[in-house]
Structures are given as structure tokens and as C-alpha cells.
Chains A and B, each alone.
Chain A
Amino acid sequence: MADPMKIRAQMKGDVCEVRVLMSHPMETGQRKDADGKTIPAHHIQTMTVALNGKTVVAGQIAGSVSRNPVFGFKVKGAKTGDKITVAWTDNKGDKRSDETAVA
């Protein structure tokens, strides 16, 4: 599995604010290295956010998203102690999943 994400999930009133920091090179496939060779595309393609196992966000990520991206979501219907799971897969088939409890 790839490098871990940092997930923060905090109740702000009756909405849960989720902030996730992912570790990924996010290569577009358009850059060239010092020798002039194109650096192959390597980026996250899909991501999901689940609340207690039920998917609440399903996203398609394009290669233009920056390296080590940060995403933020507001989730309704969550409460303290619930489980937030974030998962991603990339174009090379690598994947990562991490979870945290809502604070």
C-alpha cells in the first residue's frame, strides 16, 4: 500500500468538516526530465469518502491536481465517534485507504 494519508474529521455544529491530506507525486505525464524523456503519468484517478461504510463522496481526479493534494468536505448526518474512511486508486493500480473517527 502507498504512503498514509492524514485525515481530520471534526464536528462543526451539525456538519462534519473532513480534511484529507494525501501523499502522491501526481505526475501529469506531460513533464520531461533532465534528459528530455517524458516522465510517465502517475496520479490518483478515483477517490471515495465513506461514513460508517456508506459512500458519501465518489470522485474522479484528473492529473492536473497538485502533488500531495489536500481535499476538504462537509458531511451531513455524521456525529462524534462515527468512522470516516477515505480511499483512492491511481492509474498504476496502486491504492490506499485510511480511516479516522469523527471528533
Chain B
Amino acid sequence: MKQLRIIGAVCTAVTLASAGMASAQSDGVDHAKADAEFAKFRAEMEDSNPAELFELKGEELWKAKRGPRNVSLAESCDLGLGVGKLAGAYVQNPRYYADAGKVMDVERRIVWCMTEKQGFQFADIAKKPFASGNYTPEITSLVTFVAGHSRNMKFAIPMNDPKVREAWEIGKEITAYRAGPYDFSCNTCHGSDGKRIRMQNLPNLGKQEGAYKGVFGWPGYRMTGGVMLTSQWRMNDCFRQQRFPSPKYASDTVTYLLTYMTGTSNGLIYKGPGIKR
């Protein structure tokens, strides 16, 4: 029994889908088989992902002349690869922007372009920045449109840039920072291997495979509620789940956390825009 357990542990770590190998984890479930079934289900769901509808909306918004300055994002917004350049932009952010003097993730950068180039007010965008019910904010559709141009590309944020490196380090510190009424930190749930809440496996964000699970599918269409959600939303929801006060929308804190997870995932393939439970 002990020998089988050791073999079982190695198997689950390597995620083999070998039908003959029964999992030797103590819960008696064949995890390899279950993972294979989930992969099949996910492939089926990804075909005709409603996220594509938001890519279409985002395309309209990106190309249209809008805002008090009547200018389009296509002709004014630089996501790090040049004005209007979209291919691969999503997987090369967060990055440092000299014109803003900040490290920014894609959503925060598009908001910056909307305020600085198109003349929109940040307060108007921040009032209802996340989707709920039948409402999807414009920024969500824009992020989804941009993300669609990085399909199946490798994460490649500029970790050699000292500003990005600094943001990564701060993000790492934040994940260890305990606060709120339960004295939780991100690491309370996401700081070690093998943790689970009810039916959700909790990825270990300190390891590459865990950090990757945190970023590979956002922005994603969540079937519960039928809404399109971004990684800015997901960070906000993590804070809610810890019973922390909400982070300020598109703030440094959120960027640092996203930089930490994305930087750790460099080299792995982005699978979004995704579809979720």
C-alpha cells in the first residue's frame, strides 16, 4: 500500500491520464480519470464560448472614435507593442509604461487610454467596472477583444525590466500579507499544494503551475450568472472572499498581484478568453 501511495503521488503531480493507474490518494477517487473528463468537457464548452460575443463588442469599441476628444483607441492606445498593436499584447502585460510612470495590466492600461486619450472620466468608468446581470461594462468587452489577440501565445511579460521585477516582488509580499476579520492572506488558501474548498481545487500561486491556473483563463465567461469577467474582477472577488475591503479599481495593489502571477507563468501558454463554471 505504501509503495502504491508513492507512485500515486508522482502520478498526480505529473497529471498522467493513464487509464490503468488508479489514484492512490486517500479519498479513493480516480483523479487522473476525472481530470481527463474535465478536459473533454472544457474543450466542448470552449467551442462557441460566449466570450466571442464580447470580443465582437470590444472590436466595435476599440475602432470607434469616442469620448470628448473623439478619438479611437485603435489610433491612440499603446499596449506596449506600439500604438494600436494588438497581437500578443495581452500576454506581454503587465509591463511598465514610461508615459504613465507605472506598471499596468491590460485593463488598467486601457482605462488609462480611455481617460488620457479619449477624455473619459475615471470616476464614470470606476462606478460600475464589472459585469452583473445583463450589464457588461465597455471596458470588459475591450479587455476581451484585446485578450483574443493573444490566443495560444506564451506569457512573456518583461521580467528583466526592474520596474516589473519590483512589482512582482511587491505582489509576492501582498500574497503573504494577513489582514481582515479572519486574518487571511492569499497564501491562507493559495500558499501550499493540495488544498481544496468543497469542489474547488486551490492552486498554489507560489508555484508556476499554480500561478498559471490563476491567469490562463481570464478574461472568462462565467456560466453562473452568464457574465463576462476579467482578472481585475477576480482579484476584487478574492478580496471579497477574504472579507477584506474592496481594492480600488485598477489600483497598484491589483496590478502587483497580477504581475506576480503572470510573471511566474512566463513561458506557459495563454488559453483565454476562457469559459468558466
Q: Interface residues, chain A, CB within 8 Å of chain B?
A: 3-4, 6, 8, 19-21, 23, 25, 27, 66-68, 70, 72
In the bound complex, do residue B226 and residue A21 qualify as a contact, i.e. CB atoms below 8 Å apart?
no
Given the known inter-chain contacts A3-B53, A21-B53, A68-B53, please indicate yes or no for A8 contacting B48, CB distance below 8 A.
yes
Inside 8 A of A25's CB, which chain B residues have their CB?
A: 134
Are A19 and B48 in touch, CB under 8 angstroms? yes
Which of A67, A68, A70, A72 has the most chain B CB within a 10 Å cutoff?
Answer: A68
From B48, B134, B226, contact of A6 by CB (8 A):
B48
Cα A66 to Cα B224 in complex, Å, equals: 10
B50 in complex: contacting residue of A4, A21, A27, A72, CB < 8 Å: A21
Q: In whole angstroms, how far apart are the Cα atoms of A25 and B50 in the complex?
A: 12
Which residues from 39 to 72 on chain B have a C-beta closer than 8 Å to any C-beta of chain A? Answer: 47-50, 52-53, 56-57
- Docked complex Cα distance between A23 and B56 (Å): 11
User: Which residue of A is nearest B49, CB measured?
Assistant: A21
CB distance from B225 to the nearest CB of A (A): 8
- Contact partner of B226 (CB less than 8 A), chosen from A4, A20, A67, is A67
Distance, CA A86 to CA B91, complexed state (A): 35
Contact A66 B226 (CB under 8 A): yes
Distance in angstroms from A92 CB to nearest chain B CB is: 13
A23 touches B48 (CB 8 A): no
Contact between chains at A68 and B57 (CB < 8 Å): no
Further 12 A-B residue pairs, CB within 8 A, beyond A6-B48, A68-B50: A3-B56, A4-B56, A6-B56, A19-B47, A21-B48, A21-B50, A23-B50, A23-B53, A66-B223, A67-B226, A68-B221, A72-B48
Measured between alpha carbons, how far is A52 from B50 in the docked complex, in Å? Answer: 26
Could you list 12 examples of A-B contacts with CB < 8 Å?
A3-B53, A3-B56, A6-B48, A19-B47, A21-B52, A23-B53, A25-B134, A27-B134, A67-B226, A68-B53, A68-B221, A70-B48
A contact residues around B47 at 8 Å (CB): 19
Complex Cα spacing A21 to B6, Å: 46
Partner of B53, one of A6, A27, A66: A6
CB-CB under 8 A from A23, the residues of chain B are 50, 53
Against A, the Cβ 8 Å flags (1 = close, 0 = not) of B17-50 are 0000000000000000000000000000001111
Q: How far is the CB of B152 from chain A (nearest CB, A)?
A: 18
Which residues of chain A have C-beta atoms less than 8 A from B223's C-beta? 66
When distances are taken between beta carbons in the complex, the residues of chain A under 8 Å from B50 are: 21, 23, 68, 70
Cα of A8 to Cα of B57 in the assembled complex, Å: 18
Closest B residue, CB atoms, query A72 = B48
- How distant is A68 from chain B, measured CB to nearest CB, in Å? 4
Are B48 and A3 in contact, with the CB atoms below 8 A? no
Q: Are A3 and B52 in contact (CB under 8 A)?
A: no
In the bound complex, residues from chain A placing their C-beta under 8 Å from that of B134 are 25, 27, 67
